[in-house]
Structure 1
């Protein structure tokens, strides 16, 4: 922890100061300069590049990898999420050229994959950079630390820029149009548009509220994304171990709710349930769906037969 590290560095510095001063090798001004620069580096590690910062954003990147990415078509003057414009986004979708829009979806999927890879790479570089700076503090003596200060300062500057790049990459960006999405003949009828990528947090099962009974299962799920309108979800289930006669014991449901009860299940058997948002025209990229395994209860007759 930072408290242990600070205590170690303080003790190390005190012992080093006494040793150097005892042989007249360290002046007061040199020691003060060392303490000031060491304090500056510690402040950077405590605030800008703390362990808490890295852990929090590691979780955020993992959450993004589980999220769904969509294209939004907006008038150029309208901000993302602004619902005040009289032209609803669905009307804009009806105006665009379908073939060109499908091409832009592929561009959006590629851009999303690159963004996620970039975030992972930047986070790894920041973690390595933090370890490197800690190594300077723990292993460099006063003379070496001061002689290498320009290099250390440049490393801090590079990491600061990397932090800015990382934070900027967390927000999905706009898509650049190479071709007009709206046929020229109809272009005057709608405002100039822009394409942006938006994100919806993953849909996950409520592990406490999702339970199996003898011949049915009650499933509940949620998402932290706030939606202006009700969404549709796709729920699928399948029997995990089955014989030839039970092979078709599975199903898919489309639901406009965040809960569902599935009936007529076999007793004493394990089922896998998977939930996701229903696919829409604007979906660009989605790689992860939440799954949960529940086992139905056995009937009293089965319990007696197995005892």
Structure 2
């Protein structure tokens, strides 16, 4: 009898412990869903991923053999430094551009996989909450969800760290300037730089019967950065035979432009992007807006 009572007591204790474990897991998941995985947080993850996918990425070359200036850690090499650029081996530079492009693509692919992992984990954790409320959770399900909870946390931490981490230097196999052994050569290093996407301001862009005033901004940019060049494309959506496949292209350094000599009561498609630079390694995003010119007043 004592052995039976002891076994029954252990069984009750194990059951109570299992209930407590499941309840603790339920509370952990519920807290995560209410805080870092609520609808607003998911939208933030999605927007951060979209910004990275729409950004422009550039190869930057720094001179490591000069002392840092007051406002930057290294001297970034600009195209105006023709003396140094003339020493750079073009084949090695092209390999560095290819390496940079590959690194960007891998980063974006990883961020996309992490985001999908977060969404998948969120859905499975929500399903667990529903099953728990219905009393349909057993020990195997709880163990599986414990692993899913840990994995989802890891996906979120990895996603956030990749979003905030500096893209860092490129691991080049060879110096960009070959060492001929005759004269000292500048010591160069290469890294990736990112610029946020250019987006039309839908509220400020407006039309008249024969003009369109376009305004745009850089996502997340609080002030307008000077000396930025943008490329504007204009295309009629319903052209006449004479206008078919014709479009205009212009560049400007401001964040707005007025397009003149348009036809009244006509739909036009406008696109904006940064002017391509020689050190651009990856950029797919071009923002597009469709506006209709006003009909001629009677």
Instruction: State whether TM-score is above 0.5.
Output: yes
Q: Distance in 2 between the 1:203 and 1:70 partners?
A: 15
Q: Distance in 2 between the 1:201 and 1:218 partners?
A: 23
Tell me the secondary structure at the aligned position of residue 268 of structure 1. Answer: coil
Tell me the secondary structure at the aligned position of residue 75 of structure 2. Answer: coil
Is 1:204 equivalent to 2:199 in the alignment?
yes
Q: Distance in 1 between the 2:114 and 2:18 partners?
A: 36
CA distance 1:184–1:266, shift in 2 (3 Å): same
Q: Distance in 1 between the 2:64 and 2:141 partners?
A: 50
Written as runs of structure 1 = structure 2, the 5 A alignment for 1:56-135 is 56-75=44-63, 83-85=71-73, 87-90=75-78, 91=81, 94=85, 96-135=88-127
CA distance 1:206–1:44, shift in 2 (3 Å): closer
* 8 A contact 2:267–2:293 mirrored in 1: yes
Written as runs of structure 1 = structure 2, the 5 A alignment for 1:225-304 is 225=221, 229-247=226-244, 250-300=247-297
Unaligned stretches of 5+ in structure 2?
1-11
Tell me the secondary structure at the aligned position of residue 242 of structure 1. Answer: coil
* 8 A contact 2:198–2:272 mirrored in 1: yes
Q: 1:175 aligns with which of 147, 166, 170?
A: 170
* 8 A contact 1:206–1:220 mirrored in 2: yes
CA distance 1:71–1:294, shift in 2 (3 Å): same
* 8 A contact 1:54–1:123 mirrored in 2: no
* 8 A contact 2:64–2:74 mirrored in 1: no
* 8 A contact 1:34–1:142 mirrored in 2: no
Tell me the secondary structure at the aligned position of residue 244 of structure 1. Answer: coil
Q: Distance in 1 between the 2:203 and 2:135 partners?
A: 56
1:4 counterpart residue number: none
* 8 A contact 2:230–2:272 mirrored in 1: yes
CA distance 1:33–1:203, shift in 2 (3 Å): closer
Which moved further from structure 2: 262-271 or 155-164? 155-164
Tell me the secondary structure at the aligned position of residue 215 of structure 1. Answer: coil
Q: Distance in 1 between the 2:54 and 2:243 partners?
A: 32
Unaligned stretches of 5+ in structure 1?
1-23
Alpha-carbon deviation of 1:255?
Answer: 0.6
CA distance 1:85–1:58, shift in 2 (3 Å): closer
CA distance 1:294–1:30, shift in 2 (3 Å): closer
| Count of matched residue positions in the alignment of Structure 1 and Structure 2 | 274
Q: Distance in 1 between the 2:143 and 2:245 partners?
A: 69
* 8 A contact 1:96–1:182 mirrored in 2: yes
CA distance 1:248–1:144, shift in 2 (3 Å): closer
Q: Distance in 1 between the 2:266 and 2:114 partners?
A: 45
Written as runs of structure 1 = structure 2, the 5 A alignment for 1:21-32 is 31-32=19-20
Q: Distance in 1 between the 2:184 and 2:45 partners?
A: 44
Q: Distance in 2 between the 1:143 and 1:271 partners?
A: 57
Q: Distance in 1 between the 2:77 and 2:243 partners?
A: 45
CA distance 1:44–1:145, shift in 2 (3 Å): farther
1:19 counterpart residue number: none
Q: Distance in 1 between the 2:36 and 2:208 partners?
A: 50
Q: Distance in 2 between the 1:99 and 1:110 partners?
A: 17
